[in-house]
């Protein structure tokens, strides 16, 4: 670990320690009773996480003693207690504020855990003497101008001769996707075509032709780094209980304001969280742009489900439900991000609707001992981040606005400054872990006011759509390199 720290420099450690400053300031200005209440919740959550880890990893016979319902009961009793002790007034807004402050204080542990994962992880593929065979599935719908470079990157990725096959599945494209992919056909690359049926259908169709031990999925607009395939396969070789492996997703189109906001979002909001959950071997999403599964595990969970818009999230949860480990790898893939607000809205609307559909599907399933962390940590955390946090954010924003115009402007300004500083330092820590440019920190204020509320309202709309039973279809975004050619603009894809 010391060598890893030396190689990376001491910047991550300094950033990690620097994040303590806003926490100290926040603790200094908050009433003592409020701090006692926050500490109570933090201790309960800490004990729950520690006990969950202990029973899952050390005492499986006691797993039935740990459940989200037990956590909910304890938190309810804590809430009654802090109100009875008058640490917090009996007010919905006050309790929402208390919950938000508790989450903010607990968030410090996430980048710290990610830092530990980063400095203790090495290139596992260097120790592999015999690589398993892999089949790379590339589902493509109207990806002319993209699919060729994706296949070229896969062909250039390092992997032993004869152990890699690539299958491009043209999902009924109406442009030149099939012809472009066919130019790469060889002993390694196979191109098949089918009627349009959606991404899940294309992946399931591709599995009919796959005969390898490991199935890798790559989106047709993504580019893998040279060592990506070896990196993503390594955890399977190291541990037979690993059922799926996630990649490190980065954005390659960085010439717009919207895309640059997403660079920072991916660094902290996605990759750092995956590093954290890797400590439990329980990453919650294996991304479609680059992910890998054991073939027999995919068969065991019946592969890709048609009843969701986010097949990657759903399939990962099914793998976790069967008791397999899901790891994060150093495999890097670059993908194209929406570069307009309209396209970002369409993408996130699909993501959030699909995530909520998947969460509804898995949340109320029976808790089984084999679930490991799925019901104990993953689903409660997903419920917090996908539903509770956005709703709380909207409530808090409204209450802060009311406070600012009714005489509490100075207090609001002070809290906003401290909170923005905290987010900036956490983002700086995440950037140092991921090796990105600190230049992206200029977008930090938008993650306090602006960009965050955009996502909160999209999530709120998604919740309403799910509750009302609104027709939910696949919302396509425009491709940057296809905008000047109307004939290449994607049509609505089948559900």
Phi, psi (5° rounding) for residue 252?
Answer: -100, -20
Q: Give me 2's structure tokens.
A: 């010391």
Place of tokens 């032709």: 209
Q: Which residues of the chain have pLDDT under 50?
A: 1-7, 486-495
* pLDDT at residue number 168: 98
The answer to whether domain 128-340 has CATH 3.40.1710.10 is: no
DSSP 278: H
* pLDDT at residue number 192: 96
CA neighbor of 258 nearest in space, from 350, 343, 340, 351: 340
* pLDDT at residue number 171: 95
Q: For the chain, give the longest Cα–Cα distance.
A: 73
Q: Where are the domains of the chain?
A: 128-340
* pLDDT at residue number 385: 81
Taken in order 280, 284, 285, 291, the sign of the CA dihedral is positive
* pLDDT at residue number 440: 94
SS3 330: strand
* pLDDT at residue number 472: 66
Place of tokens 């010439």: 255
Q: Supply the DSSP string of 199-216, one letter for each residue.
A: HHHHHHHHHTT--SSEEE
Q: Identify the bridge partners of residue 193 per DSSP, sorted by sequence position.
A: 170
Residue 416 makes CB contacts below 8 A (sequence gap 6+) with: 400, 448, 449
């Amino acid at each position: 670990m010391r060598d890893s720290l030396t190689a990376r420099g001491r910047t991550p450690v300094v950033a990690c320690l620097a994040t303590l400053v806003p926490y100290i300031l926040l603790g200094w200005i908050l009433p003592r009773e409020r701090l006692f209440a926050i500490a109570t919740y933090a201790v309960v959550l800490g004990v729950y996480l520690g006990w969950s880890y202990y029973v899952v990893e050390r005492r499986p016979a006691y797993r039935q003693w740990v459940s989200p319902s037990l956590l909910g009961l304890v938190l309810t009793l804590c809430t009654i207690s802090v109100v009875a002790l008058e640490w917090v007034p009996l007010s919905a807004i006050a309790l929402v504020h208390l919950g938000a402050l508790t989450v903010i204080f607990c968030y410090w542990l996430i980048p710290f855990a990610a830092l530990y994962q980063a400095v203790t992880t090495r290139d596992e593929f260097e120790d592999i003497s015999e690589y398993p065979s892999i089949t790379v599935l590339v589902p493509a719908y109207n990806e002319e101008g993209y699919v060729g470079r994706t296949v070229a990157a896969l062909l250039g990725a390092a992997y032993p001769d004869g152990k890699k096959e690539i299958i491009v599945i043209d999902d009924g494209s109406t442009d030149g996707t099939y012809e472009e992919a066919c130019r790469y056909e060889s002993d390694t690359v196979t191109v098949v075509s089918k009627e349009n049926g959606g991404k899940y259908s294309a992946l399931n169709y591709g599995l009919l032709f796959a005969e390898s031990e490991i199935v890798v999925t790559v989106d047709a607009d993504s580019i893998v780094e040279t060592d990506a395939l070896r990196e993503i396969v390594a955890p399977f070789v190291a541990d037979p209980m690993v059922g799926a492996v996630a990649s490190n997703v980065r954005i390659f189109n960085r010439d717009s304001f919207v895309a640059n906001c997403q660079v920072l979002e991916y660094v902290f909001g996605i990759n750092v969280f995956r590093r954290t959950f890797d400590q439990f071997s329980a990453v919650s999403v294996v991304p479609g742009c680059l992910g890998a599964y054991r073939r027999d595990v995919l068969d065991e969970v019946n592969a890709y489900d048609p009843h969701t818009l986010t097949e990657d999230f759903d399939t990962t949860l099914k793998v976790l439900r069967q008791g397999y480990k899901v790891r994060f790898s150093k495999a890097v893939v670059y993908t194209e991000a929406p570069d307009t607000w309209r396209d970002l809205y369409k993408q996130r609307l699909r993501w959030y609707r699909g995530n909520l559909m998947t969460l509804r599907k898995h949340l109320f399933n029976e808790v089984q001992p084999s679930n490991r962390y799925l019901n104990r940590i993953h689903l409660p955390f997903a419920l917090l981040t996908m539903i509770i946090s956005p709703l709380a954010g909207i409530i808090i924003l409204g209450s802060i606005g009311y406070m600012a115009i009714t005489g509490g402007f100075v207090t609001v300004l002070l809290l906003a400054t401290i909170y923005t500083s905290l987010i900036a330092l956490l983002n700086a820590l995440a950037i140092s872990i991921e090796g990105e440019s600190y230049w992206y920190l200029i977008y930090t204020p938008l993650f306090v006011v602006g960009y965050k509320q955009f996502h909160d309202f999209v999530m709120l709309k998604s919740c309403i759509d799910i509750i009302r039973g609104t027709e939910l279809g696949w919302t396509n975004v425009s491709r940057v390199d296809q905008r000047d050619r109307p004939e290449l603009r994607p049509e609505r894809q089948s559900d």
